Chain A
Amino acid sequence: MGLLLIIAVIVGITFLTCYNRIIGRHNRAQRAWADVLVYERQKTRVLDLLEQQVAGFKEYESTLLEKITGLRSAIGKLPQEANGDALQPVQKGTRELLAGLTVAFEAYPELKANELVNNFMREITEQQENVGAAITIFNGAVEVFNNSIQMFPNSFVNGCLNKKSVIVPFSDSQASAAFEYKPNF
């Protein structure tokens, strides 16, 4: 009887530990995703200010403004729930905008000479760097969480109690398309 009681206590503690661990890791992944959203949305504030500056240069207003509007719209559509796939249009939009700005800079020296526009470029590049870092941290948190619900005994506890699903990490399909090598997983 005593032995059964001890075994029951050990099993109970193990269940509780696994349950809490899964919750903690899920929350950390959600927080990492929230960081991605925060930095993406901070980027839209810089875009608003950049838009005002670029609007002063009529010649390239249309193409750049179009890209800024497209990117802002893509950032606005990001879901609250962690999902790496949802980031793809935002990352694509950012790449296109930065490429467009670089082309405009090269083509029009007066734009390149505008110190304020340069500062906005630095700011937006830095924000993008933070977004990239936030995504790296998010992917790390997703890996830890996914491992915790797929490995035994956590997988068993998750199946019985937590019932959490695997989170999709962010992967850059455009970058991976450039590789000839495809990993077999």
Chain B
Amino acid sequence: MSSILHNKKLRQLIEQSDARVEAATSAADLLEVIKQLSAFGAPLEFDNATPRLFRNIGFGFVAATVLFVPFVVLGIAFLLGGWLVMDHRSGVIDALSKKIIHKSSMLAYGLRASYSPDVQVLESLGGEFKDFHRGSYSRQILKSVQGTYLGAVHELPFTYQHLQYVDRESYKTTVPDGVGGTKVETKTVDREFARYSLVLDFPWVENVVVRGDTHVGVDLEETLDTASSEFNSAFHLTGITQMACAVFAKPATVLHLLQLAQQLSDVNLEFSEHGRLCLSFSDAGLLAPNATEGIRNLPAFEPLVETGIRLPRLDFLLSWVHRLAEFHDDNFALSPKPLKNMEY
């Protein structure tokens, strides 16, 4: 197969596969895509002989600039051209791998994603949780993912949100006025930051806040220091009454929270009066997959897709929340039932 024909067929195959991954609704669909890729009969790599030749000529021209200056422009053009073509081709293959990995993990966990959800969702969440009262200039949900964790004792429907906040600060500064004097000007600085939150039904605890960051707005009226100095320096525990805090801060819960603080940064847990929990933090990558292989290594990639690509950080966090639920549920509720469906 000639180089041009091979590259053309590979490009067509990737475009077809991309469309099929987009439309996939099960792991079987993804495996069909992988089978189609396997049936290609040649390595899933573009034949870069021509651009590589361009790049080498480019190097040659650049080297020749010592002798003849106009070669510089020509050399740089060949060099960049060759490099850009190879980079683009490599990117196309990596993008398809990432898309399959993303889709596989979403299907494995039964997750449903939505981008830029309705503004009313954020208003509704803000009405229940003060943790969303951030960003003096703007706040926005960039991505929302819904799913259900099937624990040994409880089913926990959850919503994961990626939020973007902007704090706007104004300050006065003195600047030259252009005629030898100075004048006072007001300057505005925007500080953009991201937070990630998991919202889920948690009917076993109400009106308690465990704050691990500096957002004091979430604190409730009464404060309680625990017997653990380590916990007191990592978190600030408040509740609607001291009794609510004391009932919550069981020794096992205290150690469990310290374990969470080692895994996530700036963690806040806000238990609302409606029996729901907002667990927020500043670390990205909760939905980062653990797949190291891609379509460049189909024999190793296929079993991963078949079993479903895992999201280890999401696994950790959901099992952590389930354990917390076990600490606070009623052991004499004879048959634990699934919780109500999440409204958002």
- Which residues of A line the B interface, CB within 8 A? 28, 31-32, 35, 39, 115-116, 119, 122-123, 126, 129-134, 136-138, 140-141, 144
User: Which residues of chain A come closer than 8 Å to B73, judged between CB atoms?
Assistant: none
The listed residue (B250, B251, B331) touching A123 by CB distance below 8 A is B331
Question: Is A137 a contact of B332 with CB atoms below 8 Å?
Answer: no
Question: Is A130 a contact of B252 with CB atoms below 8 Å?
Answer: yes
Question: Is A133 a contact of B251 with CB atoms below 8 Å?
Answer: yes
Question: Is A136 a contact of B229 with CB atoms below 8 Å?
Answer: no
Ordered by A's residue number, 10 sampled pairs between the chains whose C-beta atoms are within 8 Å are A35-B251, A116-B332, A126-B331, A129-B327, A133-B250, A137-B226, A137-B227, A140-B229, A141-B227, A144-B229
Known contacts A130-B251, A133-B255; is A123 also within 8 Å of B227 by CB? no
B131 to chain A, nearest CB (A): 26
Q: Is the interface of A mostly helix, strand, loop or mixed?
A: helix
The listed residue (A39, A119, A129) touching B332 by CB distance below 8 A is A119
How many B residues, CB 8 Å from partner? 16
CA distance in complex: A172, B64 (Å): 77
* Besides A123-B331, A129-B252, 7 new A-B residue pairs in contact (Cβ under 8 A), listed by A number: A35-B227, A126-B331, A130-B252, A136-B251, A136-B255, A140-B229, A140-B230
CB-CB contacts of B312-344 with A at 8 A, as 1s and 0s? 000000000000001100011010000000000
User: Which residues of chain B come closer than 8 Å to A31, judged between CB atoms?
Assistant: 227
B154 to chain A, nearest CB (A): 13
Question: Is B227 a contact of A133 with CB atoms below 8 Å?
Answer: no
Cβ of B254 under 8 Å from chain A: yes
CA distance in complex: A132, B334 (Å): 26
Cβ of B173 under 8 Å from chain A: no
Question: Is A133 a contact of B254 with CB atoms below 8 Å?
Answer: yes
Give the most central of A119, A133, A134: most B CB within 10 Å. Answer: A133
Question: Is A130 a contact of B250 with CB atoms below 8 Å?
Answer: yes
A84 to chain B, nearest CB (A): 14
Question: Is B252 a contact of A123 with CB atoms below 8 Å?
Answer: no
Cβ of B228 under 8 Å from chain A: yes
CA distance in complex: A132, B253 (Å): 12
User: Which residues of chain A come closer than 8 Å to B228, judged between CB atoms?
Assistant: 32, 137, 140-141
Question: Is B327 a contact of A126 with CB atoms below 8 Å?
Answer: yes
